[in-house]
């Protein structure tokens, strides 16, 4: 039954580098919501895409010796490939380099300027390039960017500004009168108390210090600042135009929910609503800021060497296993965690043992005892009926409970409730003991009823799993040949038709041997590290040993004094130490093969010579951003070159 429109979006992914598994949680979560809403009968439009402009992109492209467009084309392709790999059902994938988007953003900027909401002035303050964010001195944390912890740089340039202050009171009243606009509640309190009520400063919305952006049509020295550009995608993608919007825009806007990470809630609940207010457009109904997915207890970062990629996990575990883990492991308000070990544990316990085993043995028993034919259930004794009723209650209550949980974006709790159906059904098998019933001819009707109830519970399970693990759901229905795979048919327990013959029992998930899997992971990481080294060697022309170079070549090498702030062994790599270095401009990670010669505590606090502009290389899962200098003093003896009397950051000439 058609229930109306439902417009859902992710934040668009920044095309700086290939996204890791932590970045991928959002697209899978949004896909599960979109699939669930479609299953309920909503007309869903699901938008995702890529954010492709900005100073950081320009710098990455320059370092890679390609144009910015060539750079973002490659990364955008990788991002879209991961979305497809994870079986996400987006309706549109927008790129902010799309011609139609750029043209409408220019119109939006001009409209806001013409009506006085954007004005020209000069910006002088602090800028974080990785975050594309401006900060005041008071907003810094320990002198660094409060969002990413990196260095900020003083910036002074001519710029256009958006009058946030003009709309502050109106925005505050809107948020307070629409209690679910910012979700969950703690994000709402943070925005009001930390940003809005203390007073909004007008927002810098153009830049002149770089060129990779959408040009301001009436002032070609300026490009449109990333947030005006990126945030507008939610309306440009569906046909907004200040000169006249499309029917699609009129149908789907306002968005029902923006799904975003907790680190960009400010931009989506302050800058974006004010932009829309200034344009005279409705505000989205809700903004949900989800937590982060961490590696263990650390934020996932290439510089920390703890990055896991979606395609690697899919190759090892399969698409649905990765989707299931992401959605089941992320708490509602606190950060989630992923390691290979926890992935294996949840795969075996939930998917292989609980769900897979239930389906496999139920089909096998139906084939064994009734030649695969589903029997018509009959009423049994009072005790039998009580057991049956409890299983039925679990299934029916799960449907209602999951609907409530998903409305609050509690995906992990919803999956736990669905898993509860499988757990209760497995318990039902233990309580009814079908193998024992099969030995008594007088219990044949009861045995048929038990298997019917189990298959009916599996029907509920398969339908409810569809948004989360769609291929698994399809595989269950393919193996059982059951009818009743529509969501609307979950209103009643007992829809399954007798007489249908189930198919062959095939394992949905093969159990994973933890030791063997971790051995495979280690081998893959080692192979990747060796490939990286080989690529670096190839890039240098395959030079082995000593080669003569000119002064112009030597001048390209940047040697800098760096202080070792932290040091630790690299897991499963006997030769490597992971060093955190302060090079005078910020921190970076370097992997060095000196574990045989130094203990970590012998290096912390010492100053070393860093090759600062060496191309990053991944060694045993650690991205090494540079190299420290050491000398081969004798056979099997290496000495690090220490320069403790020099200033951190000083360049070696």
| CB 569, CB 600: distance < 8 Å | yes
Mean pLDDT lowest for which of 350-359, 403-412, 552-561? 552-561
Q: Residue ranges of the domains in the chain?
A: 339-491, 545-652
Average pLDDT score over residue span 521-530: 80
Other beta carbons less than 10 A from residue 7's beta carbon: 24
pTM of the prediction? 0.80
Closest CA to 645 of 584, 582, 561, 585: 561
What is the second-level CATH architecture of the domain 339-491?
Orthogonal Bundle (1.10)
Residues 587/565, Cβ–Cβ less than 8 Å = yes
Strands (E), 253-384: 257-261, 287-290, 293-295, 298-299, 336-338
Q: Hey, how many other C-beta atoms are within 10 angstroms of the C-beta on 105?
A: 23
- Give dist(CA 148, CA 141) in Å, integer: 10
DSSP state letter for 376: P
Which CATH number is 545-652 given?
A: 2.40.50.140
pLDDT tens-digit readout, 422-463 = 999 999 999 999 999 999 999 999 999 999 999 999 999 999
pLDDT > 90 fraction of the chain, expressed in percent and rounded:
68
HEC string for 111-180: HHHHCCCEEEEEEEEEEECCCCEEECHHHCECCECCCCCCCCEEEEEEEEEECCHHHHHHHHHHHHHCCC
Backbone dihedral region of 280: left (phi > 0), alpha (psi from -120 to 50 degrees) or beta? left
Band the pLDDT of 537: cuts 50, 70, 90. Answer: low
Q: Are 11 and 258 in contact (CB under 8 A)?
A: yes
149 or 117, which is more confident = 117
Residue 551 has pLDDT above 60, yes or no: no
Whose tokens are 């740089």? That residue is 153
What's the confidence (pLDDT) of residue 547? Answer: 46
- Say how many C-beta atoms besides its own lie within 10 A of residue 506's C-beta: 12
What pLDDT is recorded for position 277?
98
């Amino acid at each position: 039954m058609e229930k109306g429109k439902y417009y859902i979006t992710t934040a668009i992914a920044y095309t700086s580098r290939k996204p890791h598994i932590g970045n991928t949680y959002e697209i899978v979560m949004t896909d599960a919501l979109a699939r669930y809403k479609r299953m309920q009968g909503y007309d869903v439009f699901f938008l995702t895409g890529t954010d492709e402009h900005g100073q950081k992109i320009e710098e990455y492209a320059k370092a890679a010796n390609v144009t910015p467009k060539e750079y973002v084309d490659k990364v955008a392709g990788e991002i879209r490939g991961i979305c497809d790999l994870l079986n996400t059902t987006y309706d549109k994938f927008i790129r902010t380099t799309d011609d139609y988007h750029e043209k409408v953003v220019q119109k939006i900027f001009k409209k806001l300027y013409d009506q006085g909401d954007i004005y020209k002035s000069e910006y002088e303050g602090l800028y974080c390039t990785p975050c594309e964010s401006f900060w005041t001195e008071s907003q810094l944390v320990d002198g660094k960017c409060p969002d990413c912890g990196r260095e900020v740089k003083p910036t002074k340039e001519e710029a256009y500004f958006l009058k946030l202050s003009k709309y502050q009171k109106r925005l505050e009243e809107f948020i307070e009168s629409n209690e679910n606009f910012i979700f969950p509640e703690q994000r709402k309190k943070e925005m009001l108390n930390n940003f809005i009520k203390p007073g909004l400063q007008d927002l810098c919305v153009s830049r002149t210090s770089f060129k990779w952006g959408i040009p301001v049509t009436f002032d070609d020295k300026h490009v449109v600042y990333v947030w005006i550009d990126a945030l507008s995608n939610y309306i440009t993608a569906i046909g907004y135009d200040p000169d006249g919007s499309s029917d699609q825009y009129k149908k789907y806007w306002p968005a029902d929910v923006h799904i975003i990470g907790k680190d960009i809630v400010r931009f989506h609940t302050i800058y974006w609503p004010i932009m829309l207010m200034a344009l005279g457009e409705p505000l989205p109904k809700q903004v949900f800021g989800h937590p982060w997915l961490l590696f263990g207890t650390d934020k996932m970062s290439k510089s920390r060497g703890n990055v896991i990629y979606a395609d690697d996990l899919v190759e090892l575990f399969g698409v649905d296993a990765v989707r299931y883990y992401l959605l089941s492991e992320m708490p509602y308000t606190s950060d989630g965690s992923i390691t290979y070990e926890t992935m294996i544990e949840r795969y075996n316990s939930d998917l292989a043992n609980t769900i897979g085993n239930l389906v496999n043995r139920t089909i096998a028993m139906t084939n064994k005892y009734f030649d695969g034919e589903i029997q018509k259930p009959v009423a049994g004794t009072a005790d039998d009926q009580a057991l049956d009723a409890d299983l039925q209650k679990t299934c029916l209550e799960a449907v209602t409970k999951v609907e409530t949980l998903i409305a609050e974006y509690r995906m992990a709790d919803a999956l736990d409730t669905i898993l509860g159906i499988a757990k209760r059904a497995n318990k039902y098998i233990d309580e009814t003991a079908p193998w024992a019933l099969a030995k008594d001819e007088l219990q044949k009707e009861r045995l048929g009823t038990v298997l019917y109830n189990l298959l009916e519970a599996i029907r509920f399970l398969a339908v409810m799993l569809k948004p989360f693990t769609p291929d698994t759901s399809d595989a269950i229905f393919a193996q059982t040949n059951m009818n009743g795979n529509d969501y609307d048919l979950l209103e009643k327990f007992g829809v399954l038709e007798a007489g249908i013959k189930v198919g062959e029992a095939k394992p949905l998930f093969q159990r994973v041997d933890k030791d063997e899997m971790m051995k495979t992971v280690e081998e893959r990481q080692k192979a990747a590290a060796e490939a990286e080294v080989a690529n670096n060697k190839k890039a240098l022309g395959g030079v082995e040993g000593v080669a003569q170079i000119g002064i112009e070549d030597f001048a390209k090498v940047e040697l800098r004094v760096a202080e070792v702030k932290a040091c630790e062994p690299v897991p499963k790599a006997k030769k490597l130490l992971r060093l955190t270095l302060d090079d005078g401009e910020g921190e970076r990670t370097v992997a060095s093969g000196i574990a045989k010669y130094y203990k970590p505590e012998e290096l912390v606090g010492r100053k070393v010579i860093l090759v600062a502009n060496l191309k990053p290389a991944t060694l045993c899962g650690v991205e090494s951003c540079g190299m420290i200098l050491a000398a081969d003093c004798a056979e099997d003896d290496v000495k690090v070159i220490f320069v403790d009397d020099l200033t951190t950051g000083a360049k070696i000439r």
